[in-house]
Structure 1
Amino acid sequence: MDSSSRAVIATALGLPAVLLLLLLVVVGADPSSSCATPLASGGAAGVEGPTEQTVAGLSERQLQLARNGVAIGKQRRMPEPVIIAELAAQATESSFRNLANPAVPESLNYSNDGLGYDHDSVGPHQMRASIWGSVGIATLMDPLYQINWFYDQAERLGAAAGAMSPAELAQEIERSAPNAYSGQLELARRLYALFADIDPASMPRTMPGSPAAGCGPGGSGTPLPAEASEFGRAVIEHAARWMGTPYVWGGGDTTGPTGGGFDCSGLTLYAVYHASGGRIRLPHYTQAQQDHPTAQVVPFENRAPGDLIFFTAPGDADSHHVGIYYGRDEQGRDLLLHAPQSGQTVTLTPLSAWDGEHIDVRRYSTPATSNPDTSLPGGRT
């Protein structure tokens, strides 16, 4: 056998070993998660996530707050014990909920995860409006602000923070009953393990000097339009909870994001479905939503928060985009809550961005009996 033949055979015999080694490298890789990683696969309702940690009993909204606690901590380069302290504080103070409080009536005007009744405390860290309210109720009801507040307090403690256990640090910052936070440390550690590999590069960028944004707002803490009907307000609340979620073409169904996000009609079908208690199942296609039997034609001048607004380009027959009319901002500008396009996230945009396009407004009413439209054509934006 000549040398070239031996080389060929050696290569053939060695190839499986190379492939096996490559396979082991690929399988053994532990890619970081991102803000686009669906929370449902990361521990919701006790499902095992990528870290094999289970967090039974926490809703997706609660997990959003826990993930932001970790994400903002990572963005700010906080040590692990400080992040665990923040999670333990959230768990103890609010069970990872952005709570409004009837004792602070203005807080009820913001999307929230329920009501708390502890003095005049609001938000996930139960900050007292009488002490911390100089920033304004809009800021105080922003869960991202409250998470950053906790880390600000930790930074002010300097080296002393590093000498404390997570429970001691939470106590020093929150000033609650003695040993109030030790009972939540195990949960805090499990949540930290669940989200510890999140990639800061996947998080929304913030301007220098601005608070860290983590994975962005989860809808909780956004202002609620006062003039919305009960149904319209429900449409807005169910869509606003996904603010900051990435746009994904064809993404979204009645269960939430698919493929890591929503497209425009995926977001609206989700919001209307849940606002109607599951009795209106819109197709995943803008023009079909516009023509749906439950859709009432509304003149533009009669638009109200929670109505769907459809946009048709000049010369086109079908609408190409849809969003939810949110109401007006402080400057009187009409706002649209929507999933814009690739590279962006669910957000609020002035309606003037569509000047020159034909606009149709539709209002949906809940049918007396359940008769869902089960046809779900492919996604279109």
Structure 2
Amino acid sequence: MNLSKLTVAVVLSLPVFLILLFVVLIGAVPTSTCAGSLSGSGLQGATGASIDGLTEAQLQLARNGVAIGTQRGEPDTVILAELAAQATESTLRNLANPAVPESLNYSNDGLGHDGDSVGPHQLRVSVWGSVGIATLMNPIYQINWFYDQTDRITDRDRISPADLAQAVEVAKVNAYAGQLDLARRLYTEFANIDPASMPAAQAGQPDTGCGSNGAGAPLTAGASEFGAAIIRAAEKWIGTPYVWGGGDQAGPTEGGFDCSGLTLYAVYQASGGRVRLPHFTQAQQDHPDAHIVPFDQRQPGDLIFFTSPGETSSHHVAIYYGRNNQGQDLVLHAPQSGQTVTIAPLWDGDHLDVRRYSLPAEPSTSEVGKSL
């Protein structure tokens, strides 16, 4: 080829090259939406169900496992496999993972520590992360992911639920049969869901709420430096068991925290030891370093105190965590016996008081005695 022909060939090839480069660059832009490839959209709101040992958040994940499977027309054996997989992989929780720091920026039900796995189906970021962490932290996406995987398995309807779960999750040990009794109970509880009552999901559009009750939704910022420090101190202990009377300025005691033990620890650590709260909710609320804040002026890191109707003393305290992308308030707290330190939606029914703490000029030397 002579020089003139080579020049013409190069010039003619440039538009093709530039188009291909543009396509590659567009494909390289990471996604930040909560949307994934959603074939089923799930349901929001209270389940109205009660099963011993399961929280409302766990029941909502289970209900969406059934609802999405029903909406997609999956057979009952496949839905049972999905429920058994959730129960085995995450105990029906949308788990963040400290090994994946970005996952902590999304509302979750606690922390997992299995490699780089996140969510109710414990999807590995290194394997499935091309969709983006926002999508992986969306439990609705993960439930649809499980059903998408089963759709690719030959003769899946003839495979037992436990073996089908194993075929999808590819676990080192097939432990899914141990959760089949729970899966059947959950399926029976929610099997009467009418698919026609569920909103249709549209490809590329964010799922409603990015998960049940905002689970998996981005968390808002807006905290003061002190408020952010309070949150950082407390969220290190997400997943730690609730222990009545547990927790002091140094961390968990007897293996865990109660509600006021967690808050006294977080405020003490964030203040560098300058604010020492007592181990009693009403005393924390009345502490001289506590400032009354109108509810509509709450900020992340403020403490919220819960008082039952007709009572004069608060019975629970939580750290205000911010809002998810649906505007729903979230709190970080130690809920009750049988549960763990977690981030959860702020609930109704109690009178709420907000307190914000100020830093004294010198370390405080006085402390109210512990009272439970």
Q: Which residue of 2 aligns with 1:52?
A: none
- Equivalences for residues 74-85 of structure 1 within 5 A: 74-85=70-81
Cα deviation 1:57-87 (Å, max 9, x = unaligned): 0111111111111111111111110000000
- Residues 1:56 and 2:15 are matched in the alignment: no
Maintained 8 Å contact 2:209/2:217:
no
Residues 211 and 175 (structure 1 numbering): CA distance in 2 closer, same or farther, change over 3 Å? farther
By how many angstroms is 1:35 displaced?
5.0
Contact kept in structure 1, 2:83 and 2:183, CA below 8 Å: yes
Distance 1:211 1:104 in 2: 22
Q: Does 1:135 align with 2:131?
A: yes
Q: Secondary structure at the match of 2:188?
A: helix
| Superposition CA RMSD, Å | 4.6
2:81 alignment partner AA: A
Q: Deviations along 1:28-48, whole A, 9 cap, x unmatched?
A: xxxxxx957743x412xxxxx
Distance 1:160 1:279, change over 3 A: farther
Change (3 A) 1:173 1:233: same
Q: Which residue of 1 aligns with 2:112?
A: 116
Please give the secondary structure, in 2, of the residue aligned with 1:56: coil
User: Does the 8 Å contact 2:138/2:210 carry over to 1?
Assistant: no
Q: 1:122 to 1:202 in 2, by over 3 A?
A: same
CA gap 1:306/1:223 in 2 versus in 1, 3 angstroms? farther
Change (3 A) 1:215 1:205: farther
Question: CA, structure 1 residues 119+73, in 2 after alignment: closer, same or farther (shift >3 Å)?
Answer: same
Measure how far apart 1:115 and its partner are.
1.1
Q: Deviations over 1:301-347 (max 9, x none)?
A: xx85588xxxxxxxxxxxxxxxx995798xxxxx8447xxxxxxxx9
Q: Does 1:68 align with 2:64?
A: yes
* Deviation digits for residues 180-217 of structure 1 (CA, Å, limit 9, x no counterpart): 21111111011000110112233333225769869953
CA contact (8 A) 1:99 1:112 kept: yes
Contact 1:109–1:226 (8 Å) recurs in 2 = no
Cα distance in 2 between the residues matched to 1:124 and 1:304: 29
Displacement of 1:104 in angstroms is: 1.0
Q: For structure 2, list consecutive stretches of 5 or more residues without a partner in the other structure.
A: 1-41, 236-262, 265-279, 284-290, 303-319, 330-344, 346-352, 359-366
1:295 to 290, 293, 296: 293
Contact 2:221 2:322 in 1 (8 A): no
Specify the alignment match of 1:192 in structure 2: 187
Residues 1:101 and 1:77: Cα distance change in structure 2 (over 3 Å):
same
Question: Structure 1 pair 364/85, CA: closer, same or farther in 2 (3 Å)?
Answer: same
Alpha-carbon distance change, 337 to 156 in structure 1, aligned in 2, over 3 angstroms: same
Map 1:1-381; keep pairs closer than 5 Å: 38-39=46-47, 41-43=48-50, 55-157=51-153, 159-207=154-202, 217-228=212-223, 229=227, 294-296=292-294, 304-305=299-300, 336-337=327-328, 364-365=355-356
- Which residue does 2:273 correspond to in 1? none
Amino acid corresponding to residue 294 of structure 1 in structure 2 = I
Q: Match of 1:172, as an amino acid? A: A
Q: Which amino acid aligns with 2:103?
A: S
Q: How far does residue 56 in structure 1 lie from its aligned partner after superposition? A: 1.8
Between the two structures, name the one with larger relative contact order (CA 8 Å, sep ≥ 6): 2
User: Residues 139, 156 of structure 1: CA spacing in aligned structure 2 closer, same or farther, 3 A cutoff?
Assistant: same
d(CA) in 2 for partners of 1:196 and 1:38? 16
Q: Name the amino acid aligned to 1:42.
A: A
Distance 1:231 1:64 in 2: 31
CA displacement 1:102-131 (0-9 Å, x = unmatched): 111111121211111111111110000110
Count of aligned residue pairs for this structure pair? 236
Q: 1:263 matched to which residue of 2?
A: none
- Unaligned runs of 5+ residues in structure 1 are 1-33, 44-54, 238-274, 281-292, 308-323, 330-334, 339-346, 348-361, 370-381
Cα distance change, pair 57–328 in 1 and its aligned pair in 2 (3 A):
closer
Write out per-residue CA displacement over residues 237-267 of structure 1, whole angstroms, 9 at most, x where no aligned residue. Answer: 9xxxxxxxxxxxxxxxxxxxxxxxxxxxxxx
User: How far 1:174 moved relative to its partner?
Assistant: 0.1
Q: Residue type matched to 2:135 in 1?
A: T
Return closer, same or farther for 1:103/1:163 CA change in 2, 3 Å cut-off.
same
CA pair 57-114 structure 1, distance change in 2 beyond 3 A: same
Partner residue of 1:316? Answer: none
What is the CA–CA distance in structure 1 between the aligned matches of 2:160 and 2:55, rounded to whole Å?
28
Identify if the C-alpha distance between structure 1 residues 231 and 42 changes in structure 2 by more than 3 Å, giving closer, same or farther: farther
**Higher mean C-alpha displacement, 122-131 vs 176-185:** 176-185
Cα distance change on mapping 1:297 and 1:58 into 2, 3 Å: closer
Equivalents in 2 of 1:211, 1:78: separation in Å? 23
Is the CA contact (8 Å cut-off) linking 1:98 and 1:123 kept in structure 2? Answer: yes
Distance 1:297 1:196 in 2: 40
